[in-house]
């Protein structure tokens, strides 16, 4: 993990705010998450968490889910990261290799909620397989950039306290 320089931090904040705007459209009843994927200074893909096809009949957010399921699989929704990666692959497949993925959550007022540590192995594997270079999260101590291979390894070692 690296901490961006002050000028990189300012740039990263810009993209985190863009991800927060995307998150406001999330249809999940448990959390509002947003992701933008950036390559060469432009957003090449974006996504929010929502049930498949954005259809309410596919929503099971409030149903009881087995506690044996991993943390990332306790929702009916497609993750914001998955949607952003799919969007980038549809619209800009030649730009995804080496791109940066910015992920955030927002509260009911649209304000950014600081992220925890990497934990979703599905998101990390998909990002790794498509060639995304970095995952960026906004922790309490600031925005941190994780090389995708490192993010993937850390997500396998995540333990919920």
CATH number where 25 lies:
3.40.140.10
Reading the block at residue 100, the tokens are 């940066």
- Confidence check: pLDDT of 29 > 60: yes
In a domain, 132, yes or no: yes
pLDDT at 70 over 90: no
Tokens representing residue 79 in the block: 């993750």
Do the domain assignments include residue 126? Answer: yes
Task: Please identify which residue in the block is written with the tokens 């940066």.
Answer: 100
Domain for residue 146, yes or no? Answer: yes
For residues 35 and 83, the answer to whether their CB atoms sit within 8 Å is: yes
Supply the DSSP symbol for 67: T
Query: What span, in angstroms and rounded, lies between the C-alpha atoms of 87 and 91?
Result: 6
Give Cα 107 to chain centroid, integer Å: 15
Rg of the chain in Å (alpha carbons): 15
Instruction: Report the Cα 38 to chain-centroid distance in Å.
Output: 12
Q: Decide if 1 is inside a domain.
A: no
In a domain, 105, yes or no: yes
pLDDT-derived band at 4 (thresholds 50, 70, 90) equals confident
CA angle 76, 59, 106 (to 5 degrees): 70
Q: Is the pLDDT of residue 9 over 90?
A: yes
Higher pLDDT, 30 or 146: 146
Q: Could you give the number of structural domains in the chain?
A: 1
> Which pLDDT value is given to residue 49?
96
Our CA dihedral for 68, 23, 9, 92, rounded to 10 degrees, sits at: 100
Rounded (to 5) percent helix, strand, coil in the chain: 40, 25, 40
CB atoms within 10 A of CB 69: 10
Assigned domain for 161 exists: no
Which residues span the domain enclosing 16?
6-156
Look at residue 50 and tell me if it is in a domain: yes
């Amino acid at each position: 993990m690296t901490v961006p320089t002050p000028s990189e931090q300012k740039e990263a904040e810009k993209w985190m705010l863009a991800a927060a705007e995307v998150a406001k459209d999330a249809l999940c009843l448990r959390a509002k998450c947003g992701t933008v994927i950036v390559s060469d200074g432009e957003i090449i893909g974006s996504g929010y968490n929502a049930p498949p096809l954005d259809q309410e009949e596919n929503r099971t957010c409030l149903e009881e889910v087995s506690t044996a399921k991993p943390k990332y699989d306790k929702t009916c929704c497609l993750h914001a990261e998955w949607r952003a990666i799919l969007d980038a692959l549809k619209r800009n497949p030649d730009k995804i290799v080496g791109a940066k993925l910015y992920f955030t959550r927002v509260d009911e007022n649209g304000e950014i909620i600081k992220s925890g540590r990497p934990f979703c192995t599905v998101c990390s594997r998909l990002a790794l397989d498509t060639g995304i270079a970095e995952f960026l999260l906004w922790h309490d101590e600031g925005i941190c950039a994780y090389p995708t291979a490192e993010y993937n390894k850390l997500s396998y070692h995540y333990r919920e306290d």
